[in-house]
Amino acid sequence: MSSIRPFCLTSWLAAPVAAALLLLTPVSQSRAQAQAAQATPAPAQAANPAPASPSQTTVAATSPEQRGITARAIDKVKQVAKSAGDVFNRVPCLPPKGGAKAMGSLPHVAGKLVAGKPVVIVAFGSSSTAGYGASSPDFNYPNRLAAQLRRQYPTADITVINAGVGGEDAPEMMKRLQKEVIDVHPDMVIWQVGTNAVLRNLDPGDTAKMVEDGIARIQAAGGADIVLVDPQYSPAVNQRKESAGKMVKLLGKVAELRHVGIFPRFEVMRDWHENQSIPVESFVIADGLHMNDWGYACFAQLLGDDIIRSVGQIKLGVNVPGDVRAYRPM
């Protein structure tokens, strides 16, 4: 697994695109001038027409060599665009060996997808949800998840709302829970929480209690499926190992108590490093905290796989007990 590398498209894409644009400009001008000449009747020529200026001659002529360079630049742009598109497909990402704890069924969102009804998912959280560390907004986890679900269900009306705000944790999130989550009437809420509480030395017990209260409010408002996402495994979080451990454990207990799902991000990311031998810098950016494109892609992919699997269970008529909410990536 050490051969896995994160996607870093920004600098790779910029140079060939810029080159192609520069090379294409004279050709576009020439074509525009030629079309204008065809559309406008030519004026009567004087008996001794003035010679064309050097600038006019240069614009009108494009040598075979220039055309060859332009064609190669266009081909390069097409190759880069194809590679950029490939990042939206599956990445070489493996689940934890032996399976992790479980998320179980997601009956509400799965039932709607089976029935062909519109689905609204709210991704609620902090900078990990907003996508800090991704090279483009397209590569944050909510957008990656949306792309995966739309590929799987091309005729479905799927909306994934990114309600991530950097630096926040449960105290701030509870203030916007009503407006940005409950009032949206989502079919599924993915609540990423706990990392900033660890970094800010907030009491894990207090955080867990607020999260439990928030879940109760969402459940009272409707039948949305809920999945908690615990802190990430990263150098910055690992510096507060005791607090991080308590947070992960308490969020797991809250999920069990309230019968909601939990994506054990800390366990999944630790498995990447400790069992799959992936260097931390291959999924965490230089700040030692946030995930990069590959990290977000794998996270979204495993989460999306579980949603897709739940839809398959509904189609087959398989009833998964409501209190079975451990996440088990396949």
Give residue 48's identity as a one-letter amino acid code: N
Q: What is the pLDDT of residues 263-319, one digit of tens each?
A: 999 999 999 999 999 999 999 999 999 999 999 999 999 999 988 988 888 777 655
CA torsion 145→1→235→237, rounded to 10°?
40
Give the separation between CA 154 and CA 147, rounded to whole angstroms. 10
Task: Flag whether pLDDT at 7 surpasses 50.
Answer: no
- 212 pLDDT higher than 70: yes
**107-316 has which CATH code?**
3.40.50.1110
**In this structure, are residues 70 and 24 in contact, taking their beta carbons and an 8 Å threshold?**
yes
Model confidence pLDDT, tens digit, residues 147-156: 999 999 999 9
Considering just the CA atoms, what is the radius of gyration of the chain in Å?
Answer: 26
**Please, what is the angle between helix 10-39 and helix 64-86, to 10°?**
130
The full DSSP string for 149-188 is HHHHSTTS-EEEEEEE-TT--HHHHHHHHHHHTGGG--SE
Which of 59-68, 69-78, 281-290 shows the lowest per-residue confidence on average (mean pLDDT)? 59-68
235 contacts 273 by C-beta, under 8 angstroms: no
Of 72, 199, 65, nearest to 126 by C-alpha is 199
Residues making up the chain, counted from first to last:
330
Residue in the block written with tokens 């969020």: 251
The domain limits of the chain are 10-86, 107-316
State the Cα–Cα distance between residues 22 and 24, nearest whole angstrom: 6
Helix H or strand E encompassing 270: helix 265-274
pTM recorded for the entire structure: 0.71
Distance, in Å, from the CA atom of 75 to the CA atom of 63, rounded to the nearest integer, reads 19
Q: Using one digit for the tens of pLDDT, what is the confidence trace for 75-133? A: 655 554 444 445 556 778 888 876 545 566 789 998 898 888 999 999 999 999 999 99
217 or 320, which is more confident = 217
Cross-strand partners of 158: 119
- The set of long-range contacts for 312-317, using a CB threshold of 8 Å and a minimum separation of 24, is 313/105, 313/110, 314/105, 314/107, 314/110, 314/111, 314/114, 315/114
